[in-house]
Structure 1
Amino acid sequence: MIESLDHVQLAAPAGSEDLLRTFYVDVLGMTETPKPAVLAARGGCWFESGSVRLHLGVEAAFHAARKAHPGLRVRGIEAYARRLAALGAEVHWDDALPGHRRFYSTDPVGNRLEFLEASADT
C-alpha cells in the first residue's frame, strides 16, 4: 500500500543549479537539502519546506514541465503571492478550483508550479 508521497522530481538543464537555488531558497523560502555524494555527481539539487520535498534533476534533453506540476499548499496565499511577485516571480491567479484560492508560477527554467490554499468559505 502507498503510505505517503516522498518527493516530486522536476527536470532542469545542466548548469542551472545556482538559478534554482536562488529561486527555491530565496524566493520560495525552501531549504536546500544536501544530496548523497553518489547522486550529487549527477547535478541538480533538492529542496524542502516542512514535509514538502522537491528534487530538481538534470536532464540532458531538458524540456520544462508546462502542464504537469506539483501543487503546493501554502498558508496566507495572498501574502505569499505578493512576496513572490516582489521578488520577480510571475503570479497568475486562477479561480477555477472551487473552495480554493490558487495561482501558478514558473521556476527559472520554466517548470510550472501551483500554489493553493483552501478558501475561508469551505
Structure 2
Amino acid sequence: MTITGVHHAQITIPVGTEEQARHYYCHLLGLPEVEKPDSLKGRGGFWLQVGDRQVHVGVEDGFERTSTKAHLAYQVTDLSSWKQKLEAHNFSILDGIPIPGYDRFETRDPFGNRLEFIQPLT
C-alpha cells in the first residue's frame, strides 16, 4: 500500500467568477482547460492541465483566500519573463523566502489565491 503521486490539486474561486478565472488561467497563464466529467459539470468550476497533472478550479463562497499560506507552485522556464508579464497585467509580485537551488516569486490570482512561480537555478 503506497501513495504513488499527486493526481491533482484544487483551488477555489467565488461562485459566478468562472469566466474571469478562465481569462486569468487559460488566457494570461496559457493553461489548457480539460473537460470535466458529465457527473461533475453541474458543480461549477473547471479543470486545467498543468504538465502531467491537473488543477481543478472549484467554486466556493465564504472563504478569505488572502489570509492563507496555502498555494500552488508552478515550475516555469524564464522566471523573469513571467514576472514581467504579470506586472504588465497589474499583478503584484512578492519575493519569496530564498530556498537553495531555486529562484522564485509569489503573486495572488484575481481571487486572492496565492501562487508561486519557481525555476531551478542552472
Normalising by the residue count of structure 1, what TM-score does the alignment of the two structures yield?
A: 0.88
Number of residue pairs matched by the alignment: 120
Name the amino acid aligned to 1:48.
Q
Flag as ranges the 4+ runs of structure 1 deviating above 3 A. Answer: none
- Give the Cα–Cα distance (whole angstroms) in 2 for the partners of residues 46 and 8 of structure 1: 10
- Give the Cα–Cα distance (whole angstroms) in 1 for the partners of residues 90 and 35 of structure 2: 26
How far residue 95 of structure 1 moved from its aligned partner, in angstroms, is 4.7
Is 1:34 aligned to residue 35 of structure 2?
yes
- Give the Cα–Cα distance (whole angstroms) in 2 for the partners of residues 59 and 29 of structure 1: 23
Normalising by the residue count of structure 2, what TM-score does the alignment of the two structures yield?
A: 0.88
| More helix as a share of residues | 2
How far residue 94 of structure 1 moved from its aligned partner, in angstroms, is 2.5
Contact kept? 1:64, 1:109, Cα under 8 Å: yes
Unaligned runs of 5+ in 2: none
What is the CA deviation profile of residues 39-81 of structure 1, one whole-angstrom value per residue up to 9, with x for unaligned ones?
1101011111322321111123233163111111111111122
Query: Structure 1 vs Structure 2: percent identity of aligned residues?
Result: 35
Unaligned runs of 5+ in 1: none
- Give the Cα–Cα distance (whole angstroms) in 2 for the partners of residues 56 and 30 of structure 1: 12
Contact kept? 1:95, 1:101, Cα under 8 Å: no
User: What is residue 80 of structure 2 aligned with on the other side?
Assistant: 78
How far residue 99 of structure 1 moved from its aligned partner, in angstroms, is 1.8
